[in-house]
Amino acid sequence: MNYILPGAPWLVAHRSMLCIDKPYKITLNNCDYVIWQNAKGEIYALENVCPHMQAPLSNGWICKEHNSITCPFHALEFDGKGRLIKDGEVKGEPIAKSLNLIIQDDLIWTYGNFEPRLPIPSLISEKTKGLSFLGIAGDTTIQAEFLQCIKVNYDFNHQNGVHHDTFRIKDNPVESFEKDGYYAKVVQTFLREDNTMQELFQNPSLMTFPKKIKNQLVYNFPSTTLFKAEVPLGEILQFFILYPETENQTRTFVLLYANWRNPIINVPGFGDLIKRSLLQSTAKIVEQDSKAVESLYPQQKPKIRLPKEEIMSYVEGLYHEW
């Protein structure tokens, strides 16, 4: 089995993605897991395979009283450590394998039970103190390998192509690119053309995007890319999250936050409209990126280079030298 970046910290979910007492299935590096959260906010994770006859535990149900998951096949019950529960009592040692999680605020991280090779990044906690959490957008499996997906996040030259449609980005000059190990930062400007009335009607948040948007990209290899844009309403922060499901499938979702500075956001109904519309715009961005990466032909050595493309060799280097 080919594990992608063993020992990397992966952000596999935000708490809001888990309902209370409902199994949530994830796949990380070719292994399926089931995660659940109880009403107290405690979170558990097991390998998704029942140790009796290998049924998927995620198709089972949660028992509130015992904090346990019941297998959908013969109704055996396991606690969050993988121990059998019988008549409400724990019986013996764990027989289902658990997945170690690290819960940081509302973020659910894991090393997939590998020895950690990098600390859990503090970028999201640091940058979002006191900000409004708007929600999750673009929770999608991309049919492409992890390296191709992460390269799109680092490729700061793609917005006038991939995101030209809807966002009307006509140029995206880069002012600076700094890197320090697994951390990198880019300062960039988007220059936009006018949207059509129909586009504005379909997506009112486009009205809040000026023709020139100053933005920053902050990278914590390999899981997190922050895109932070200055708009007249304040700052919009999108954390693009990636983790490898299999060699050929990559999971993505975006955490959206705002630092509102303009009191117009408090006008009844307006804030909700903008929030919904920003989530919709973010989902559109993910859809455009996913389609772009899924449509690529097998990689060859480029016969032409764009200016300032060194960020691409930087991220490929981090990946291959892991």
Query: Least separation, in Å, of the C-beta of 50 and ligand FES?
Result: 3
Among 289, 293, 315, 318, interactor with Fe ion by CB under 5 A: 289
Residues in 46-105 at the binding interface with ligand FES, rule: CB under 6 A: 50, 52-53, 55, 71, 73-74, 76
Query: Least separation, in Å, of the C-beta of 184 and ligand FES?
Result: 45
Name the residue type at position 155.
D
Choose between 69 and 149: whose C-beta lies nearer to Fe ion: 149
Q: Which residues contact 89 (CB under 8 A, 6 or more apart)?
A: none
Query: Least separation, in Å, of the C-beta of 62 and ligand FES?
Result: 15
**Separation of alpha carbons 233 and 104, rounded Å:** 29
- 74 binding partner (options ligand FES, Fe ion, none; Cβ < 5 to 8 Å by kind): ligand FES
Query: Least separation, in Å, of the C-beta of 77 and ligand FES?
Result: 9
**Separation of alpha carbons 171 and 245, rounded Å:** 33
- 53 binding partner (options ligand FES, Fe ion, none; Cβ < 5 to 8 Å by kind): ligand FES
- 133 binding partner (options Fe ion, ligand FES, none; Cβ < 5 to 8 Å by kind): none
Q: Does 155 bind Fe ion (CB under 5 A)?
A: no
Query: Least separation, in Å, of the C-beta of 49 and ligand FES?
Result: 9
Burial zone of 184 (CB within 10 Å; 0-12 exposed, 13-18 middle, 19+ buried): buried
Strands (DSSP E) contained in 156-198 are 169-171, 174-180, 183-192
**Separation of alpha carbons 237 and 132, rounded Å:** 10
- Bridge partners of 10? 110
**Separation of alpha carbons 224 and 239, rounded Å:** 6
What is the binding site for Fe ion (CB under 5 A)? 289
What is the binding site for ligand FES (CB under 6 A)? 50, 52-53, 55, 71, 73-74, 76
